A and B are shown apart, each in its own frame.
Chain A
Amino acid sequence: RKEVEQDPGPFNVPEGATVAFNCTYSNSASQSFFWYRQDCRKEPKLLMSVYSSGNEDGRFTAQLNRASQYISLLIRDSKLSDSATYLCVVNFRGGSARQLTFGSGTQLTVLP
């Protein structure tokens, strides 16, 4: 079983749509959670951290359910520029400090 699992997609949605990505992680001792964004043939970049209480950054909302070991990312009012691969990322407690484990990513294409 992979440590961090994501639906690979692709998700093809029209502009203005709301889309949600899910991610599950296997290690219940996981400590910190993030979403990174990776544009085609580019490097990953931090999109947002995920906090236990849930957090929002503009059109993006992240949720964490520790009991179900589940993370989600919601994008409202999708823009063409949101087209990218979204990587679910986890820091496992007991692992090296600041070491991150990446999921395989979910590909999103926003269509005009």
Chain B
Amino acid sequence: EAGVAQSPRYKIIEKRQSVAFWCNPISGHATLYWYQQILGQGPKLLIQFQNNGVVDDSQLPKDRFSAERLKGVDSTLKIQPAKLEDSAVYLCASSSTLPAGGNLYEQYFGPGTRLTVT
């Protein structure tokens, strides 16, 4: 089974520039999450989608961050304009809503995009 795919793996931009990250979840997973992980900290949830609808975006800095999952599969996360404090790894995760076949709460993470803002 293919895992969660993310691109790019690395990105270096200057402050005030824009950047976009892409995620393709595990096939059939209805729930998709974007996390921000700053060095030395645990992942912090930015936004959660159920199919193409937003479940929770309470921790998303909406003045500069946006995310979409238009067809309920792939998702993009955008930062515009970037700030120095946005330097982090952006992790995408997905989980299944099906009760059979495992832990409902298990989230499968992609390899992340390491963003450096200079």
What residues of chain A have their CB less than 8 Å away from a CB belonging to chain B?
4, 8, 32, 34, 42-46, 49, 87, 91, 95-105
Is B104 an interface position by the 8 A CB rule?
yes
Contacts of B55 in A (CB 8 A): 96-97, 99
A46–B31 Cα gap in the complex (Å)?
17
Decide: A103 and B105 in contact? CB cutoff 8 A: no
On whether A100 and B105 interact (CB within 8 A), knowing A43-B91, A87-B42, A105-B42, the answer reads yes
Interface residues on chain B, size class: 20 to 34
On whether A102 and B109 interact (CB within 8 A), knowing A46-B103, A96-B48, A96-B55, the answer reads no
What residues of chain B have their CB less than 8 Å away from a CB belonging to chain A?
31, 40-45, 48, 55-56, 91, 95, 97, 103-107, 109-112
Contacts of B106 in A (CB 8 A): 46
A78–B103 Cα gap in the complex (Å)?
26
A52–B91 Cα gap in the complex (Å)?
30
Contacts of A102 in B (CB 8 A): 42-44
